[in-house]
Structure 1
Amino acid sequence: MVLEVKGITKHFGGIQALTDVTFQVEKGEVFGLIGPNGAGKTTMFNVITSMFPPTAGEVKFSNRTLTGMKPHDITKTGVCRTFQNIRLFPEMTVLDNVTVGQHCRTKSGVWAGVFKTKAQKQEEEKIRLKAMELLQLVGLDDYEDSFAENLAYGQQRRLEIARALASEPTLLLLDEPAAGMNEKETNDLFELIQKIKELEITVLLIEHDMPLVMKVCDRMAVLNFGKKIAEGTPEEIKNNQEVVEAYLGREEEEELA
């Protein structure tokens, strides 16, 4: 087991965003977190990564308690995420956006950078080569010198994933990576997630594109009004009547049948 979310509750004043949510993510799987808008999915990501402290409950990663840790320290443990809204550095090059993601793994200090020591130069070259490997993985190696703001939308999504991978996570949280994508871009994303899984990186995925979710996920949990209403394989979720009524709907059910 890589991730254990146990009894997570989160209040914002009088609003109860999450109520006693529990699930586990196994090593090497793609685990989906689905549900209607406002169900608490992104709030759960924010709790896992300590952007929000939980009102109650605990999050463990590889048997280490994440609850109460600083977000940057959680990244160092091997947990990284993307966001619903793309958060790139638009006026930096594609390559530089990825190298920035490796900052938590670098060893050279300020003075090594000032004096350009041999060790610092070697580390800088290693970072560049790693970034190029990741750009090749996401299909952006021909755009290394382009500015991030000049990429197409789907390419920017893939660049954000490459930057997250640069931190060398063992657990990658993807928050609606297919949002706004066309059919080809979504198919490319499916193939990319499969490649990430082959690298033995566990993936926790929030997504509304149900054909993608059903195809790429090994298991999933369903949230509705901040409560978990189901958990299981795609087939089990597709045939769960409560999920159909709360989220999938009759039309979606027919499409997935």
Structure 2
Amino acid sequence: MVLKIQNVSKNFGGISALTDVSFSIKEGEIYGLIGPNGAGKTTMFNLITNIFSPTAGEITFNEENITGIKPHKITEKGICRTYQNIRLFTQMSALENVMVGGHCRSRSGVMRGVFRTKLQRKEEQELKQKAEGLLELVGLKEFKDVLAENLAYGQQRRLEIARALASDPKLLLLDEPAAGMNEKETDSLFDLIKKVQARGITVLIIEHDMPLIMKICDRITVLNFGKKLAEGTPLEIQDNDAVIEAYLGKEEEDDIA
């Protein structure tokens, strides 16, 4: 298993955001994490990347306990994420944004950067070529010199994915990547995530777009009020009465198909 969440809980004061949640993700899977607003989905992402530490439980990545490891070390080990609210460097170009994502793999330190050594210049050129390739992957190569703030919303979403990929992740966490997208943009996102999977990258995705989730995920965990409600294949989740009632509402049963 690439990722194991074992009996994880998170309390904020007297509020339980997550309670005894467990699931595991196989290498190469696209795994969905769904549930109503406030179910604890983004909190789980924050625990995996150690923005917060769990109150109880253990998180294992490639058989290594990463519970409590500093966020930059999590990235170095091969986990990267995007955010529910886009976090780009708006005054930097698309190319520069992606290059920033790759600096965690740089061997050049501060002094080499200051003095522009041969190694630093070589790494910078390699990083630029890599960033251009990732921009092509996400369909933004022609916008490489455009400031991030001047890109359309859907383009900014894809740019954030390209920046995350620049860190060479083994596990990519996507937090509502289709939020605010139209149908055409969502179809393009589906194709992009499948391309990411084809590169051997495991994907954990939070999303409210049920048609996308049901079409793209290998397996899904459903959270409700911070607790695990169900786990299974998309077909099993679609047929789960507890999910239909608690997450979608009985009258919306047909909408999950």
Q: TM-score range by the shorter chain?
A: over 0.9
CA distance in 2, matches of 1:252, 1:118: 61
Partner of 1:234: 234
Partner of 1:188: 188
Partner of 2:165: 165
Q: CA RMSD in A?
A: 0.8
Q: Which runs of 4+ in 1 moved over 4 A?
A: none
1:134-179 C-alpha deviation (Å, 9 max, x unpaired): 0000000000100000000000000000000000000000000001
Tell whether 2:26 aligns with 1:26.
yes
Partner of 2:45: 45
- Matching of residues 148-227 of structure 1 within 5 Å: 148-227=148-227
CA distance in 2, matches of 1:193, 1:170: 14
Tell whether 2:111 aligns with 1:111.
yes
2:201 corresponds to which letter in structure 1?
A: I
CA distance in 2, matches of 1:114, 1:16: 47
Normalised TM-score (structure 2)? 0.98
Label 1:178 to 1:124 Cα distance change in 2 as closer, same or farther (>3 A): same
CA distance in 2, matches of 1:121, 1:158: 28
CA distance in 2, matches of 1:255, 1:115: 59
Residue 7 of structure 1: how far off its partner (Å): 0.3
Tell me the SS of whatever aligns to 2:249: helix
CA distance in 2, matches of 1:175, 1:116: 37
Partner of 1:66: 66
Partner of 1:243: 243
Residue 114 of structure 1: how far off its partner (Å): 2.2
1:231-254 C-alpha deviation (Å, 9 max, x unpaired): 000000000000000012245421
Residue 121 of structure 1: how far off its partner (Å): 1.1
Q: Which runs of 5+ in 2 are unaligned?
A: none
CA distance in 1, matches of 2:188, 2:139: 9
CA distance in 2, matches of 1:70, 1:114: 26
Q: What is the aligned residue count? A: 257
1:16-48 C-alpha deviation (Å, 9 max, x unpaired): 010000000000000000000000000010011
2:140 corresponds to which letter in structure 1?
A: L
1:200 corresponds to which letter in structure 2?
A: G
1:122 corresponds to which letter in structure 2?
A: K
Residue 15 of structure 1: how far off its partner (Å): 0.5
CA distance in 2, matches of 1:251, 1:158: 34
Partner of 1:35: 35
2:6 corresponds to which letter in structure 1?
A: K
CA distance in 2, matches of 1:6, 1:153: 36
Residue 68 of structure 1: how far off its partner (Å): 1.2
CA distance in 1, matches of 2:110, 2:184: 44
CA distance in 1, matches of 2:76, 2:145: 28
Tell me the SS of whatever aligns to 2:245: helix
Normalised TM-score (structure 1)? 0.98
Partner of 1:97: 97
